[in-house]
Amino acid sequence: MIISIDHFVLTVASLEATCAFYQRVLGFRRIDTPGLPTALAFGNQKINVHEVSRTFEPKAKSPTPGSGDFCLITDRPLGELLASLEADRVTVELGPVERIGARGRMKSVYFRDPDDNLVEVSEYLE
């Protein structure tokens, strides 16, 4: 019945710091639409970004910066991501390590965004 994720929401301390991070580090595209949450688009998905002092209804019961933990899939070699993270002075917390994702074996790298959300970026192993 469910076939994919369209978007999810991150509550953040600073909209500007978060958007700048994801644009710089992962190449996301920022979308600002009046009256709607700011979005960070990538592929066919997006992350809606709610600043803690300016959330939108309906929302999670207790939206808190730094409570996110999610995995993104890359279509590039993980080595390219690692070089990019190093160039952007992003600390790799773990990886590359092998994991099992929704579609099978993958290699993953873990790092944190400005709110300390845990971001996992993975490439599937053929």
Enumerate the active-site residues: 120
In angstroms, the Cα distances linking 76 to 15, 73, 83, 123 are 27, 9, 12, 7
Cα torsion angle, 60, 66, 67, 69, sign: positive
Beta pairing partners, 42: 45
- What does DSSP assign to residue 121? E
- What does DSSP assign to residue 1? -
**What backbone torsions phi and psi does residue 18 show, to the nearest 5 degrees?**
-65, -50
